[in-house]
Amino acid sequence: MRSRSWMNVLNYIKIYWIALTLFTLAAVTALSLWSPGNLPSVLGSDKHHHIIAYAVLIFPTVLRRPRHWKLIILFFIAYSGVIELAQPLMHRSAEWLDMAANVTGVLCGLLVSELIRKLEFLPQD
């Protein structure tokens, strides 16, 4: 049996996907370029943070499935590479393993969204 509150949350995400995605993109960008000494201490490894951030970033887009959602996925992957290239300019180190973690996060967000869609937790459009 589907939980009504989860369906409401998923519908909210589906309706406000653009705002949620832009907010998450701004947060990911800020945290990625922030001086490492000023970042808050959070449980988990750096790579776990990358995976979670990019999974959360892509989740609303894949859940909503706008017209060019696959291009948005490719944009976020390319964007993660640009962030890695920009980090040395902000006195941070560029790590290609971070980009690999970002791509893993995008794939995780995609898989979770697909699973939710397959299990029909969302009403059909």
Contacts of 98 (CB under 8 A, 6+ apart): 46, 47, 50, 80, 84
User: Is 123 inside a domain boundary?
Assistant: no
* pLDDT for residue 98: 93
- Cβ-contact 77, 125 below 8 angstroms: no
Which residue range is the domain that position 60 belongs to? 4-118
User: Is 61 inside a domain boundary?
Assistant: yes
* Residue owning tokens 């980009």: 99
CA distances for 35 relative to 27, 40, 66, 76, angstroms: 14, 11, 34, 22
pLDDT in tens, the chain (125 residues): 457 788 888 889 999 999 999 999 999 999 888 877 766 677 778 899 999 999 999 999 999 999 999 999 999 999 999 999 999 998 888 888 999 999 999 999 999 999 988 886 555 55
User: Is 36 inside a domain boundary?
Assistant: yes
Q: Give the count of domains, the chain.
A: 1
pTM of the model: 0.87
User: Is 124 inside a domain boundary?
Assistant: no
* pLDDT for residue 1: 43
User: Is 100 inside a domain boundary?
Assistant: yes
* pLDDT for residue 124: 52
User: Is 27 inside a domain boundary?
Assistant: yes
User: Is 74 inside a domain boundary?
Assistant: yes
Token code pair at residue 78:
């390319």
* pLDDT for residue 35: 76
Task: Give the residue among 33, 26, 25, 45 at the shortest CA–CA distance from 92.
Answer: 33
